[in-house]
Amino acid sequence: MNSTTQTLSALTGLPTDPSLALSFCGITFATPLVLLSGCVGFGEEYTRVEGFSNRHVGAVVLKGTTLNARLGNPAHRVYETSMGMLNAIGLQNPGTDAVIQSILPQLDFSETRFIANVSGSTIDEYAEVTRRFDDSPIDAIEINISCPNVKEGGVAFGNYPEMSARVVAACRAVTKKPLITKLSPNQTDIAKNAQACIEAGSDALSVINTVMGMAIDAQTRKPVIGNVQGGLSGPAIKPIALLKVHQVYQVAKKHHIPIIGQGGITNTEDALEFLIAGASAIGIGTSLFYDPHVCLKMNSGIAAYLQRHGLRSVTELTGTLQLPG
Cβ atoms of 58 and 295 within 8 Å: the answer is no
Q: Express each pLDDT in 112-131 by its tens digit.
A: 999 999 999 999 999 999 99
Specify the pLDDT at position 144. Answer: 94
Helix ranges (DSSP H) in 173-267: 190-200, 238-252
R_g over Cα of the chain: 19
Alpha carbon 193 to its chain centroid, in Å, reads 17
323: in domain: no
The closest of 127, 114, 115, 107 to 67, measured between CA atoms, is: 127
Tally helices (H) and strands (E) across the chain.
9, 16
Bridge partners (DSSP) of residue 214 are 229
325: in domain: no
Domain range spanning residue 180?
Answer: 3-317
Q: 290 vs 249, which has greater pLDDT?
A: 249
- Residue 192's domain is classified under what CATH number? 3.20.20.70
Cα–Cα distance, 122 to 138 (Å, whole number): 23
220: in domain: yes
Angle between helices 294-308 and 268-277 (to 10 degrees): 60
110: in domain: yes
Q: 40 vs 244, which has greater pLDDT?
A: 244
Q: Are strands 78-81 and 84-87 parallel, antiparallel or unpaired?
A: antiparallel
What integer is the mean pLDDT of 232-246? 97
Say yes or no to pLDDT of 43 above 80: yes
Specify the pLDDT at position 269. Answer: 98
pLDDT band at 4 (very low <50, low <70, confident <90, very high): very low
281: in domain: yes
Say yes or no to pLDDT of 12 above 80: no
Q: 80 vs 10, which has greater pLDDT?
A: 80
Q: Express each pLDDT in 174-220 by its tens digit.
A: 999 999 999 999 898 999 999 999 999 999 999 999 999 999 999 99
Specify the pLDDT at position 53. Answer: 58
Alpha carbon 152 to its chain centroid, in Å, reads 26
- Work out the angle at residue 153's Cα, subtended by the Cα atoms of residues 116 and 93, and round it to the nearest 5 degrees: 30
Residues contacting residue 49 through CB under 8 Å, at least 6 positions apart? 292, 293
Specify the pLDDT at position 156. Answer: 78
Cα–Cα distance, 174 to 104 (Å, whole number): 20
Specify the pLDDT at position 140. Answer: 98
Say yes or no to pLDDT of 65 above 90: yes
Specify the pLDDT at position 185. Answer: 93
* Count: domains in the chain: 1
Cα–Cα distance, 223 to 286 (Å, whole number): 22
Q: Express each pLDDT in 291-302 by its tens digit.
A: 988 999 999 999
Q: How far is CA 56 from CA 112, 201, 296, 301, in A?
A: 9, 30, 6, 12
152: in domain: yes
Specify the pLDDT at position 76. Answer: 96
8: in domain: yes
Specify the pLDDT at position 7. Answer: 38
What integer is the mean pLDDT of 295-311? 96
Residues contacting residue 241 through CB under 8 Å, at least 6 positions apart? 185, 207, 208, 261, 262, 263, 264, 274
What integer is the mean pLDDT of 68-74? 96
Say yes or no to pLDDT of 147 above 80: no
pLDDT band at 148 (very low <50, low <70, confident <90, very high): low
Asked if 147 is an active-site residue, the reply is yes
Say yes or no to pLDDT of 150 above 70: no
Among 39, 147, 171, 295, which one carries the catalytic annotation?
A: 147
Say yes or no to pLDDT of 2 above 60: no
Q: 155 vs 117, which has greater pLDDT?
A: 117
Question: What kind and span of H or E run contains 205?
Answer: strand 204-207
Length of the chain: 325
Say yes or no to pLDDT of 306 above 80: yes
Cβ atoms of 289 and 264 within 8 Å: the answer is no
Q: Is the peptide bond before 208 cis (omega within 30 degrees of 0)?
A: yes
Neighbours of 83 (CB within 10 A): 12
